[in-house]
Amino acid sequence: MSTNEMTGGEAIARMLKAFGIGPMFGMGGFQLLPFYDAARRIGLDHNLINDERCAVFIADAYAKVSGRVGVCDATLGPGATNLVTGLVEALNAGSPLVVFVGDSHRLHSWKNMTQESRQTEILRPACKELIRIEMVERIPELVRRAFQVATSGRPGPVVVDVPEDVCHATHPFDDADFEADEACMSAPSLRCRPASADLEAAARMLGDAARPLMLCGGGVHISGATAEVEALAHALNLPVAHTMTGKGAIACTDPLSAGLFGRYDRIANRLIEESDCLLVVGCKLGEIATKRYTVPAAGKRVIHLDNVAEEFGRTFRPMLRLWGDAREGLRDLHAALAPEADTIRARQQPYAEDVAARMVAWRKSVEARLTSAERPINMARLLNELNKAMPADGILVADGGFAAHWGGLLYDTKRPGRGFVPDRGFASIGYGLPGAMGCALAAPGRPVVGLTGDGGFNMVMGELETARRLDLPLTVIVVNNAASGYVKALQHLMYGAGAYQSSDLVEVNYAKVAGALGCTGIRVEDPNEIAEALRIGIGSENGPTVIDVVVTRDPALMLPGVDNRTVQVRKGDRVA
């Protein structure tokens, strides 16, 4: 066994190498310089970012699509505090991340060190766990701990705080110190199964139901349970509805798909109302998914399968709680129902046919919007063209707010799996471009499109330089309405035409912006030009493409609904 004297920074780099991490992003400072030097020497795929928040967004999207741990870093002070928004996204969404931040030299802490702040106190609520390394010799142990915590239970981000003197200090490490737990390289690293008695009760409830319905959230993707969702749905003729993050639990084009439920839905909310047994899988039943806690209605028979016990009863009291991993729980539930599956499937055939017929009728009822020739362009037409252009293995990344809601309602995945990636953990705008970068890195060869508003793109457009530097073949669609569209639409709804405050943007040609940054830029003002622009962007292998789509400026038509429905606002309720 050989012993090597090395810095703490090199020890961190060697541990990351042992865990086989993918691309990581950061912006260095003096505190982490030994780590940067070691990353160069041992061949870590480390890349400079222009804004630390985007580093976390990239890591988050990478983790969502690959299932592997996303890694990034930041220097102390403003570098560390810039991480907060992305960390909360990962925390709420269940994305496994390990994030390193430099900190001040302990000998000089609290003596007005440059950029010093109480960063551990700021970051602690934004992550699953914060680990501060106080002794250089403990680095291998604590990095292993970070990966273990990030990938177990509900996955999440772990922050590793590294004081300057610990990173620069040296210690004689043994080769055996740099061992990684292979199970903790991806999430979930551990799985638990619901109790057998609870599974038997759930099987009886589903077997006796006349109109059962499965409601899937993002936990289905975290667990890697889409094959199990599809298998159980087809075995029983069990229709499936989904949240925004649960899209792809089964293919949206599957006859058993009931589409999005909650605030924006196609046919799912009525099916929930008519159902006599709901199977909720990997879903927190939050505000948007439940249409502000009104769907399902109180008293519904609900079976809730989740691996986080604290979620049971938080927003809806289920009749039966199944505490366990979604994949394992669905497998066991399928096995329990197998003896009766043929009988149930035959009995449910007319119900399944009714669901499929309702979806066909819904599509027909909104066809005029989906094929609209309006100028400026109707959002429904844009999403319809995207549905036609995207191959089955494509990934759509939807930025927060406006883009996520339109995409959640209208975008159709063509196969089960994570083909739709919205940042619904925190719903921050600015995710579209860096999220697309993370997906492109996680799934090379798969077409990646980011859908973002002009406001969100304004926040992060500097990362086009990063995407170009890495020659990432991705497409970003900028929904250009010269406004903070969601806010302007709500102001119109609440206060009437013309009552707009701080919601307008100056007109910008983002295709020219892209060109100035060395990327391909295409501006689309005619809906008949959308298909060709998408063909060029999705088919390109020459770095990033930005498609600047000029959409409606009418705030009465901006709300994310294919029929631009009139939203009734209850007295005292300020959310549409």
pLDDT of residue 2: 73
Residue 135 lies in a domain: yes
Distance CA 369, CA 373 (A): 9
Q: Whole-prediction pTM value?
A: 0.96
Q: Which CA distances in Å does 98 have to 78, 190, 280?
A: 19, 17, 30
Residue 565 lies in a domain: no
Q: Which CA distances in Å does 567 have to 73, 264, 290, 574?
A: 43, 11, 15, 11
- Same domain membership, residue 424 and residue 332: no
Angle at the Cα of 261 from the Cα atoms of 95 and 560, rounded to 5 degrees: 90
Residue 370 lies in a domain: yes
Are 143 and 16 within 8 A, CB to CB? Answer: yes
Name the domain count of the chain: 3
| Domain assignment of residue 55, given as a range | 3-185
Q: Within a 10 A sphere around the Cβ of 68, how many other Cβ atoms? A: 18
Residue 414 lies in a domain: yes
Residue identified by tokens 């934004």 is 126
Written as one letter, the residue type at 26 is G
Residue 267 lies in a domain: yes
Domain limit, last residue, from 330, 364, 398: 364
Helices (runs of H) and strands (runs of E) counted in the chain: 23, 20
CATH code assigned at 54:
3.40.50.970
Domain limit, last residue, from 364, 388, 421: 364
DSSP secondary structure string, 199-250?
HHHHHHHHHH-SSEEEEE-THHHHHT-HHHHHHHHHHHT--EEE-TTTTTSS
Residue 383 lies in a domain: yes
Burial of 161 from C-beta contacts in 10 A (0-12 / 13-18 / 19+): buried
Are 437 and 53 within 8 A, CB to CB? Answer: no
pLDDT of residue 56: 98
- Same domain membership, residue 299 and residue 215: yes
Provide the token pair at 3. 């012993």
Distance CA 243, CA 486 (A): 19
What is the DSSP secondary structure assignment for residue 338, as one 8-state letter?
A: G
- Same domain membership, residue 163 and residue 18: yes
DSSP-based helix, strand, coil % in the chain, nearest 5 = 45, 20, 40
> In this structure, what are the phi and psi dihedrals at residue 236, rounded to the nearest 5 degrees?
-110, 0
Written as one letter, the residue type at 276 is D
Query: SS3 string of 465-531?
Result: HHHHHCCCCCEEEEEECCECHHHHHHHHHHHCCCCCCCCECCCCCHHHHHHHCCCEEEEECCHHHHH
Angle at the Cα of 23 from the Cα atoms of 17 and 24, rounded to 5 degrees: 85
- Please give the helix or strand (H or E) that residue 380 lies within, else none: helix 379-389
Domain limit, last residue, from 337, 364, 391: 364
Residue 564 lies in a domain: no
Per-residue pLDDT of the chain in tens (576 residues, 90 and over written 9): 578 999 999 999 999 999 999 999 999 999 999 999 999 999 999 999 999 999 999 999 999 999 999 999 999 999 999 999 999 999 999 999 999 999 999 999 888 888 999 999 999 999 999 999 999 999 999 999 999 999 999 999 999 999 999 999 999 999 999 999 999 999 999 999 999 999 999 999 999 999 999 999 999 999 999 999 999 999 999 999 999 999 999 999 999 999 999 999 999 999 999 999 999 999 999 999 999 999 999 999 999 999 999 999 999 999 999 999 999 999 999 999 999 999 999 999 999 999 999 999 999 999 999 999 999 999 999 999 999 999 999 999 999 978 889 999 999 999 999 999 999 999 999 999 999 999 999 999 999 999 999 999 999 999 999 999 999 999 999 999 999 998 999 899 889 999 999 999 999 999 999 999 999 999 999 999 999 999 999 999 999 999 999 999 999 888 876 554 444 443 333 333
- Same domain membership, residue 351 and residue 370: no
- Same domain membership, residue 370 and residue 354: no
Angle at the Cα of 115 from the Cα atoms of 111 and 121, rounded to 5 degrees: 85
- Same domain membership, residue 122 and residue 71: yes
Distance CA 351, CA 344 (A): 11
- Same domain membership, residue 501 and residue 511: yes
- Same domain membership, residue 489 and residue 526: yes
- Same domain membership, residue 423 and residue 476: yes
pLDDT of residue 572: 37
pLDDT of residue 96: 98
Residue 570 lies in a domain: no
Are 89 and 431 within 8 A, CB to CB? Answer: yes
Distance CA 99, CA 380 (A): 38
- Same domain membership, residue 531 and residue 434: yes
pLDDT of residue 1: 55
pLDDT of residue 111: 85
- Same domain membership, residue 240 and residue 168: no
Provide the token pair at 48. 């400079």
Q: What's the distance, CA 334 to chain centroid?
A: 28
- Same domain membership, residue 162 and residue 24: yes
Single out the residue of 425, 438, 477 nearest to residue 454, CA to CA.
Answer: 477
pLDDT of residue 556: 87
pLDDT of residue 112: 84
Are 287 and 314 within 8 A, CB to CB? Answer: no
